[in-house]
Structure 1
Amino acid sequence: MSFDTISVIGLGYIGLPTAAMFASKEKKVVGVDVNQQTVDIVNAGKIHIIEPDLDVMVKEAVEKGFLKAVVWPEPADAFLIAVPTPFLPVKLIDLVPEPDLSYIKSAAKSVAKVLKKGDLVILESTSPVGATEQMASWLSEARSDLTFPQTHGEDSDIRIAYCPERVLPGHVVRELVENDRVIGGMTDNCSKAAIELYKIFVRGDCVVTNARTAEMVKLTENASRDVSIAFANELSVICDKSDIDVWELIRLANRHPRVNILQPGPGVGGHCIAVDPWFIVSSAPNESQLIHAARRVNDFKPKWVIEKVKATLAEFLLSNPSKAANDITLACFGLAFKADIDDLRESPALAITKDLAMLNVCNILVVEPNISILPASLSEMVGLVSVSAALNQSDICLLLVDHAEFKLVSKSDLENMAIIDTKGIWS
């Protein structure tokens, strides 16, 4: 196939780097996003996210005319859909959330308007099993003049595949090129077309399977990580109750040649590990007992951290009887869901900080070196300050994210302060 024009639907943390990567190979790329501000930023040769090397790629691609952003899809030879797949809100805490495919549906309906015979459509959004087939159905409903794989197999006018992203924030540009890709075509011809497209820049292997297996591969990878993190987080709670240093415990246990326990934290965040296991649980609730339990453990950890803060605050007041609660300042170090990025999606650090601010029991400062403006939900309740300002003004320091800047804080900087370290870098 000839891919003269490639369209990427959704210019977020995956879509924009993917669009820039194709453009770097001198392919004409049309990026589509419903947010006009995002479109304007990209067309100015700038980026709206923090990702090493991406700014240079986007600037060069726009200046050379290989990348442009629009609000509505335009005709292309291949369409990659990389839009959010959140969950519908639940009213009861014990209910399993159901996936919300409305963004995929909307993207499919908009793409359908400009489809032509021979086009390739790839779903990259993390999705429940069967989402690619559902997308194909939406496309077919919108374009009865074209044929699709679910009805015409190898002879279909349109090729459809699922290919999940599997990159690490902060390393996306490199991993898009180097990592293997799982290609789940609805037919063999669909898979072949998808491989030809990705091989424009992918140096890793393109491994072929069917669409449903490819969807499950992505969910399995992140559910596996979630279970492993849950074990570490549960250990940290047990060790705290037993007055054991969990960091030392894990370090010693990991000296066993076949043991590799991960590090605990304040919970699990991001739009992958904290979300993807629910796709499995929602589709097979009776069979996914371990995966479900891991989700509950990791969702519980932020609540445990908040209780730890309350206990520390009470101890501080007992040790300083001349002070009232509103005289005490708590500094929360980190809002992102992981170190050295600006991504706040599903961040336990952000959730903890919000809940503490809502309690209104003390003054709260926030240190997040990767953002310049607090999210609206926090801006009126807390102040965003530098590391040095937080250390100078605080009585209690809550370490939530192991950003590089926080690792530079010395023990002397923390003297005479109560410390709650959820990442083990100040312990």
Structure 2
Amino acid sequence: MPLTLYADFQPETREQLTIAVVGLGYIGLPTAAVLARAGHRVIGYDIKPEVVASVREGRSHLVEPGLDLLLAAVTASKSLTATDEAPEAEAYLITVPTPTKSGDFNHPDLSSVFSAVDAIAPRLKAGALVVLESTSPVGTTNQVARRIAELRPDLKVATGASDRDAGEVDVAYSPERVIPGRTLRELETNARVVGGVTPQAARRAAALYRSLTSGEILLTDDRSAEFVKLAENAFRDVNIAYANELSLVCDELDLNVWEIIQLANHHPRVNILTPGPGVGGHCIAVDPWFIVAQAPETARLIRTARLVNDGKPRFVIEKVCELMDLDPAFRLGCLGMTFKADVDDFRESPSLNIAKALSALYPGRVVCADPYGHALPADHGLALVEAEEALAQPVVLALVPHVEFRAANRPDAQVVDACGLWA
């Protein structure tokens, strides 16, 4: 199916649907709330009872600007409800996590996707639309369609473009493109890539997303849509790896990487990113491995970028150890543990892993500060303190440039600035 730009795409009617959002995490919960505000009847489905309970009370279990107010409104109006049992709906959006397995090339773990499919399959009726939003390797959406067909032989499920518009259940793919901290706004304004197992599935999914976003809607097939998301995040990962590798080279040559980048970026066609302690989060640190897993001999640059970024935490730890080993009385203050600034998201966070590693290497000598520390699991094992106390230690490690930390002066201490906090 050729790529079609639907900048002015409008369904013939602004159909209001009963939509089940499967997985109420960082993407699913804001998506459910925005769809409810758009006029749909939305049922949030999650297997975690505590998540369901918080949504029923109109509270968000995660930090996202504006989400608490929106949840309170749409739950009060009954536009959004929540359940821990698979509901009946006209459309299903699957927004569950797709992490990687350990081992060569970090193969993707799609168990949550298939568990979600298994849960909703008995509830499907003729005319249902199933859209996968979880970041997935190429071919996953077709696997979803085939799995539904196997589980529901009583329904005709289109499982390939050769089926054309045939099918009582349509399956499509549309990846999210939002950033924590601006999720609500970007859900309603970002362009959306929608790929269908069949053209009919793509058109139906596009009509649903037109009620969600004012951005462009771009239609394609499911395999292309899956790869678009991977290509976007691999592009970002490669660019970050370049900045991180520059920081390693500058350290070896005794140069100030922050000054080098600042000067280089005055070139009209150069925009080097900011180095950091590694790469974290649920996308950039994971998605490029999906490409590598499917093309291990070809995706050499993408694989190397992943190795550079995954190796940066070890470099940071070694720089800190050089200072801590100067004096057995030295204590360390770590600033920031989330995967990026000003969010409460610790998924795949290199900063959190660095803080834990240093705490294990120097027991009783490491304290950590983060304005979102309260969101850590109870068994985090770290000594959490206020920022002032962390800044007062003989050795200070800047890992995440939270706005709270940016207001502080560079301390009179041995400093390892891994994020450019005081560049």
1:375 aligns with 2:377: yes
Shift of 1:373: 5.0
Letter of the 2:304 counterpart: A
- TM-score, normalization: structure 2? 0.94
2:136/2:290 contact within 8 Å kept: yes
Matches within 5 A, 1:180-199: 180-199=191-210
The residue number in structure 2 matching 1:403 is 402
Amino acid of the residue matched to residue 122 of structure 2? K
> Within 5 A, what are the aligned runs for 1:96-175?
96-150=105-159, 152-175=163-186
| Alpha-carbon distance in 2 for matches of 1:46, 1:106 | 26
SS in 2 for 1:150: coil
Written as runs of structure 1 = structure 2, the 5 A alignment for 1:294-373 is: 294-315=305-326, 317=327, 325=328, 327-360=329-362, 363-373=365-375
Work out whether residues 73 and 110 of structure 1, in 8 Å CA contact, stay in contact via their aligned partners in 2: yes
Amino-acid identity (%): 47
* TM-aligned CA deviation for residue 375 of structure 1: 2.9
CA distance in 2, matches of 1:235, 1:377: 36
Contact 1:333 1:368 in 2 (8 A): yes
Deviation for aligned residue 1:253: 0.6
Corresponding residue for 1:49?
Answer: 62
Instruction: Give 2:39's aligned residue.
Output: 26
Once the two structures are overlaid, the 10-residue window that deviates more, 147-156 or 98-107, is 147-156
Compare 226-235 and 150-159 and name the one that shifted more: 150-159
Residue 128 of structure 1 aligns with an amino acid whose one-letter code is P
CA shift for structure 1 position 89: 2.4
Q: How far apart are the structure 2 equivalents of 1:117 and 1:38? A: 30
**Structure 2 counterpart of 1:239:** 250
**Which residue in 1 is equivalent to 2:271?**
260
In structure 1, distance between residues paired with 2:370 and 2:218: 39
What SS does the aligned partner of 2:227 have? Answer: helix
Question: Structure 1: which amino acid aligns with 2:187?
Answer: L
Structure 1 equivalent of residue 6 of structure 2: none
Normalising to structure 1: TM-score of the pair?
0.93
Aligned length: 408
Structure 1 counterpart of 2:415: 419
On the 8 A contact 1:328/1:362 being kept in 2, the answer is no
Once the two structures are superposed, residues 220-259 of structure 1 have per-residue CA deviations (whole angstroms, 9 ceiling, x without a partner) of 0000000000000000011011111101100111111111
Query: 1:13 is matched by which residue type in structure 2?
Result: Y
Amino acid paired to 2:416: I
| Paired amino acid for 2:192 | R
Q: In the aligned structure 1, how far is the partner of 2:376 from the partner of 2:344? A: 11
Tell me if the contact between 2:373 and 2:384 (Cα under 8 Å) persists in the aligned partners.
no
Cα shift readout 1:364-403 (whole Å, capped 9, x = no counterpart): 1111102315434533xx21111122223x1111000010
**Aligned AA (2:98):** T
CA contact (8 A) 1:82 1:125 kept: yes
Q: Is the 8 A contact 1:3 1:78 kept in 2?
A: no
Measure, in 1, the Cα distance between the counterparts of 2:21 and 2:288: 26
RMSD, matched Cα: 1.3
- For residues 19-69 of structure 1, give each alpha carbon's deviation from its aligned partner in whole angstroms, at most 9, with x where no partner exists: 000111221100011100000011010001111111111111111111111
| 5+ long unaligned stretches in structure 2 | 1-12
Structure 1 alignment gaps of length 5 or more: 318-324
Judge conservation of contact 2:346–2:376 (CA < 8 Å) in 1. no
What secondary structure, in the 3-state scheme, does the structure 2 residue paired with 1:149 have? coil
Check if 1:384 corresponds to 2:384. Answer: yes
For the residues of structure 1 that align with 2:105 and 2:389, how far apart are their CA atoms?
42
